[in-house]
Structure 1
Amino acid sequence: MVYYPPRSNPPLPPIPDNIPISEFMLDESYGRSPLSSSLHPFTCGFSGKTYSWFEVRDRVEFLARALAKEFGWNPNQGTEWDKVVGCFLLNTIDTLPLFWAIHRLSGVATPANAAYSAPELAHQLKDSGAKALFTCLPLLNTSLEAAAKAGIPKNRIYLIDLPSQITGNAKAPAEFKTLDQLVQQGKILPQLEKLKWSPGQGSRTTAFLCYSSGTSGLPKGVMISHRNVIANTLQINTFEKPSRDQLRAEDPRISKFDVSLGLLPQSHIYALVYICHSGPYRGDQIIILPKFEINSYLNAIQRFKINSLSLVPPIIITMLRSQDILKKFDLSSVRSIFTGAAPLGAETAQELQNLFPTWAIRQGYGLTETATVVCATTPLDIWFGSSGNILPGVEARILTPEGKEIHEYDTPGELLLRSPSVVLGYLNNEKATKETFKDGWMYTGDEAMLRVGPKNTEHVWIVDRIKELIKVKGLQVAPAELEAHLLEHPMVADCAVIGIPDDAAGEIPKAFVVKAPAASGDDSAVTQAIKKHVEDHKARHKWLKGGVEFLDIIPKSPSGKILRRLLRDKEKEARRKAGGKL
């Protein structure tokens, strides 16, 4: 059975397939909000430095000219794989102009996680075939080591400025050109020839090569086409427009445009598409912060009167555990939050709602391989724990482990997706591509179910990663469910749950917990309190029979996804040393 978006959703407009993302974002011909009436797209949350849309358009063109001269690139010659540029950066107001300048030349931007070590970055640079690397001063040493391993010479490493609050008094070495210098150089260079793309070229041409963390092994390069990003930008805006229009009609004080938070890593698909393309396309302003620190985050909300927060669950947990700090700031401008990248449990959402009763607490779901959002809640149809309604242009199916169609609501199985935003595949990995993309469908590896919500619309509920489900005597236990419940306990600041081997049950749940400041007593007493919290509310097969282990920090990706494989590796090593079952 194929599930479709709600009938009340507007139809998806035509998706251009013969232009690059840069043209789609900078040319009013393709339905975007007028450049003159939109808010400034990118503003630094520290310095206040900002660009108008006309300044962004000029910077993209000047930078593209300079890159063309620097590398000998012609917009209409060669393939995109001759023009791959690595981008290893903290968030900046110049990141998207850099990406769009690369696209103006029919090149590929491959953004890298700013938390990468040199070997991890070197893998991405080598695997992608990057010819140059843009970075920033705090990441320069890692960049130099990785570039040397990947064969990128020093004169192909470029720096982007960051606010002094991040760099302090440190100065960029003079031997490295900066993005600003390239822009100035481009001002006096001749105009580039216009792109001459044929119909369908936007569907075939990779724009971004983002690396998916996966559940094991080295990250895989996900080939995201220009049309993929354009499609999802249109899908998100088409989906959100009715509720935005209705809320403005009910309260004329609500502006047509949002002032939104740009805190999440621009290298991650969530921020890359949802925050940095969808928002600016409709005219929103994005307040860019290079990294999360609670005081600077809250100060930016207060200073710029941010009304829309795009977050991940760890930031929400930090807020809930830092209510004394929250009281020092004026957060009255906030109307809504949107959370994704990892599940936000219904209990945590309710706790946040109790703290901020006027906020619309929304959640969405997507993957790098769907570039990005496939379902989301709207302010008018919120159901805590749900990932919301299917977006226009998306189709979904649910399959049993045996591959049979599930036709009933409230019945979990693997989620399959079809959408114009589904990507081209994995770079140089035919096996993984064939396993994930079959017969026009993307196999997500996520267990999900369809449920009818309070507004009588179909909602997608994500249960967990199929490979991470714990099987206790044949019964499935979702780590995310237990984690959401554990976070309700005042002694738990953060947590993760994995399955560990057990002779009788096959597997049993074990919790790794970061204790909250409120945790009192010795570890044994805290352990018993946490276990009792689960036993009082959950079925017996979900009890923490594997025990509780205390950690200083739960390993997570920058987007907030729990890296359970690292915890499983830690557990295996402990069991190996103890001579236990692996």
Structure 2
Amino acid sequence: MTGELSPIPDNIPVSEFMLNDFYGRDPLRESRDPFTCGLSGKTYSGPEVAQRVDLLSRALAKEFSWAPNKGTEWDKTVAIFSLNTIDTLPLSWAVHELGGIVSPANAAYSAAELKHQLLDSKAKALFTCLPLLSTTLEAASMAGFPKDRIYLLELPVQLTGGASTPAQYKTVSQFIESGKAHPKLEKLNWGGGESGRRTAFLCYSSGTSGLPKGVMISHRNVIANVLQIKAFEKDYRGSLPAPENYSRYSEVSLGLLPQSHIYALVVMCHAGPYRGDQIIVLPKFELKTYLAAIQNFKIHSLFLVPPIIITMLRNHEICKTYNLSSVKSLFTGAAPLGVETATDFIKMYPNVTVRQGYGLTETSTVVASTHPTDILLGSSGTLIPGVEARILTPEGEEVKDYDTPGELVVRSPSVVLGYLNNEKANKETFEDGWMRTGDEAVIRLGPNNTEHVFIVDRIKELIKVKGLQVAPAELEAHLLSHPAVADCAVIAIPDEAAGEVPKAIVVKSGSAGKDDEQTAQSIKKYVEEHKARHKWLKGGIRFVDAVPKSPSGKILRRLIRDQEKEQRRRAGAKL
């Protein structure tokens, strides 16, 4: 059903792998355009992208006095804080051509959150976009980051309202133009194993618990996962007819999800173009714009998260006014998709195959995926080539039986180098190539007698709001700095649209007023003023006399969740 995993190059950067036909990618000159703007239609062919990367790398080398084979990757770290653009990945690959690191930041970040990433990553330059410029400048001021190292990625006029770019900020287009005047750079001279040792992307994740940590993703990690994804579907795609004007099968895919998120970064932005697919890039989700892009570009594959699927179901009358007949496949990840939701979607769109995948930032994305010929709703699919998995009991014993839950532990060439400057988290998460996912899973046999992975619960404390991670510890630390909060705990409660939302359990301090509603509003506002929207306390606040804790002081989250569940049951809420 799946193909054999190809040898994984270990002496080249991601950019070389993506832009050179020698490493098995769909030939550049025969491929669809890699990235096309879903608003303006602006696009570049594969060879044009390669040329833009070359010119951009020359200009960056001149701007920062960087050279491909001088210094370490940590001397050449570039942060990208932007809405999706067609130049985000070419910019990333230009940095990789210089042997540098790209650290993508979530476009929903507040200034304080961006400041943390700038300081932790020790970024030397920052690329942003006009709509996020004010947040960027605030974060830069807080971090002591030089304003003359802030640059702009251009967005379509539909998003900027025709506003002109401030003259003091150099744009990616200006860099590319100036690159024509600079000499061609020498190639990176890497020996065997080098791409497995060097960090390509520094993505921020809460890991299995705690505050956001820099995840060091090597060039080989990304290359490996792209080859794993290709091998998983090679035979299936090879059996499909080539579209008109193309010599082999390829498709048009949606590039809506944030390019800072590992799901979009690897699955869409690397695996897609590598296989010859065209990615229709949308800066952010807006229902009618999204539907228009599907209709106008005849998109075949939708890469989504469950909240967008729910939005489509709730707005079926609007969706019916657009021609979505080109869509043949829907792939969802970042958060579990319920069987009921998947079934409802199939009823409305019977010609669309619904698939699901499972992965983490720490596995450089995909661990398991639904094969197009082996669909089992509710399942995260089967392990992709090159991945090994174990299910462990809390005592560390390996589970041998089907339908028996335990922690999913995986080993794969895509498992990352580790967390930046965090040995404690590294010891808790990684051991001898194995990675503890913090997720409780079971293995079940599917109709085709294949082993499917079902994620049944999270052992880790993370809350997932629309596929975005929220660390309770981060919110708790922030809440404790509010004068009305003496103690607190943050848990997830179910939400039909977002999957989960944070709820705070709060012990009021002596200085808090007697009006609980007024105090709650003050606390909510405090979070909203300092945190990204997905971290807001949409689940509300409940005041208690004491937060349940173990003798060692650890918050008893499971007990709190059980209490909340019982309260919702009594109130008749959906559990």
Q: TM-score range by the shorter chain?
A: 0.7 to 0.9
CA distance in 2, matches of 1:95, 1:324: 34
Residue aligning to 2:159: 166
Contact 1:274–1:372, Cα closer than 8 Å, also in 2? yes
Contact 1:60–1:97, Cα closer than 8 Å, also in 2? yes
Match of 2:26 among 21, 33, 42: 33
How do 1:58-457 and structure 2 match up within 5 A? 58-214=51-207, 217-248=210-241, 256-457=249-450
How do 1:569-580 and structure 2 match up within 5 A? 570-571=540-541, 574-576=543-545
Contact 1:268–1:559, Cα closer than 8 Å, also in 2? no
State the SS of the aligned residue for 2:453.
Answer: strand
Q: 1:146 to 1:35 in 2, by over 3 A?
A: same
CA distance in 1, matches of 2:501, 2:106: 25
State the SS of the aligned residue for 2:543.
Answer: helix
CA distance in 1, matches of 2:326, 2:246: 12
What is the identity, as a one-letter code, of the residue corresponding to 2:543? A
Q: 1:451 to 1:250 in 2, by over 3 A?
A: farther
Q: 1:495 to 1:232 in 2, by over 3 A?
A: closer
**Displacement of 1:248 after TM fit?**
3.6
**Displacement of 1:496 after TM fit?**
3.5
**Displacement of 1:251 after TM fit?**
13
1:462 equivalent in alignment to 2:431: no
CA distance in 2, matches of 1:139, 1:469: 27
Q: 1:99 to 1:500 in 2, by over 3 A?
A: closer
Residue aligning to 2:472: none
CA distance in 1, matches of 2:182, 2:392: 56
Residue aligning to 1:496: 500
Root-mean-square deviation (Å): 3.0
Residue aligning to 1:506: none
Residue aligning to 1:13: 6
**Displacement of 1:575 after TM fit?**
2.7
TM-score, normalised relative to structure 1: 0.81
Q: 1:165 to 1:382 in 2, by over 3 A?
A: same
State the SS of the aligned residue for 2:115.
Answer: helix
Residue aligning to 1:535: none
CA distance in 2, matches of 1:250, 1:166: 33
**Displacement of 1:148 after TM fit?**
2.1
User: 1:386-410: CA deviations, max 9, x gaps?
Assistant: 0001000000000011111100001
CA distance in 2, matches of 1:579, 1:445: 22
Q: 1:126 to 1:252 in 2, by over 3 A?
A: closer
**Displacement of 1:287 after TM fit?**
0.3
User: 1:77-125: CA deviations, max 9, x gaps?
Assistant: 1100000001001000000000000000000000000000011001001
CA distance in 2, matches of 1:10, 1:163: 40
State the SS of the aligned residue for 1:274.
Answer: helix
Contact 1:416–1:441, Cα closer than 8 Å, also in 2? yes
Number of aligned residues: 501
CA distance in 2, matches of 1:174, 1:282: 39
What is the identity, as a one-letter code, of the residue corresponding to 1:28? D
**Displacement of 1:35 after TM fit?**
0.8
Q: 1:468 to 1:251 in 2, by over 3 A?
A: farther
What is the identity, as a one-letter code, of the residue corresponding to 1:380? T
**Displacement of 1:289 after TM fit?**
0.2
User: 1:439-476: CA deviations, max 9, x gaps?
Assistant: 32100000011100011110000112113599xxxxxx
Long gaps (5+) in structure 1: 1-7, 471-478, 488-492, 502-550
**Displacement of 1:145 after TM fit?**
1.3
Residue aligning to 1:3: none
Contact 1:247–1:254, Cα closer than 8 Å, also in 2? no
User: 1:31-79: CA deviations, max 9, x gaps?
Assistant: 0001111000000000000001111011101110111111110100110
Give aligned-pair identity as a percent: 64
CA distance in 1, matches of 2:399, 2:26: 41
State the SS of the aligned residue for 2:266.
Answer: helix
Q: 1:495 to 1:201 in 2, by over 3 A?
A: closer
Contact 1:312–1:559, Cα closer than 8 Å, also in 2? no
Contact 1:341–1:559, Cα closer than 8 Å, also in 2? no
**Displacement of 1:498 after TM fit?**
8.4
Contact 2:109–2:532, Cα closer than 8 Å, also in 1? no
Residue aligning to 2:469: none
User: 1:170-200: CA deviations, max 9, x gaps?
Assistant: 2211011111111000011111111100110
Contact 2:503–2:537, Cα closer than 8 Å, also in 1? no
CA distance in 2, matches of 1:499, 1:84: 36
What is the identity, as a one-letter code, of the residue corresponding to 2:116? H
State the SS of the aligned residue for 2:460.
Answer: helix
CA distance in 2, matches of 1:143, 1:252: 44
**Displacement of 1:18 after TM fit?**
0.2
CA distance in 2, matches of 1:252, 1:188: 36
CA distance in 2, matches of 1:157, 1:417: 39
State the SS of the aligned residue for 1:467.
Answer: coil
Residue aligning to 1:547: none
What is the identity, as a one-letter code, of the residue corresponding to 1:241? K
User: 1:240-277: CA deviations, max 9, x gaps?
Assistant: 11222234499999971110000000000000000000
What is the identity, as a one-letter code, of the residue corresponding to 2:319? L
CA distance in 1, matches of 2:77, 2:239: 43
What is the identity, as a one-letter code, of the residue corresponding to 2:500? A
CA distance in 2, matches of 1:20, 1:579: 49
CA distance in 2, matches of 1:186, 1:86: 20
What is the identity, as a one-letter code, of the residue corresponding to 2:398? E
Q: 1:467 to 1:32 in 2, by over 3 A?
A: closer
Contact 1:248–1:254, Cα closer than 8 Å, also in 2? no
Q: 1:420 to 1:145 in 2, by over 3 A?
A: same
How do 1:469-548 and structure 2 match up within 5 A? 487=496, 496=500
**Which aligned segments of 4 or more residues in structure 1 are displaced greater than 6 angstroms?**
249-255, 497-501, 577-582
CA distance in 2, matches of 1:559, 1:384: 32
**Displacement of 1:500 after TM fit?**
10
CA distance in 2, matches of 1:53, 1:254: 15
Match of 2:38 among 41, 45, 70: 45
Q: 1:272 to 1:41 in 2, by over 3 A?
A: same
What is the identity, as a one-letter code, of the residue corresponding to 1:117? S
CA distance in 2, matches of 1:92, 1:456: 42
CA distance in 2, matches of 1:254, 1:576: 69
Long gaps (5+) in structure 2: 464-490, 506-523, 550-558, 561-575
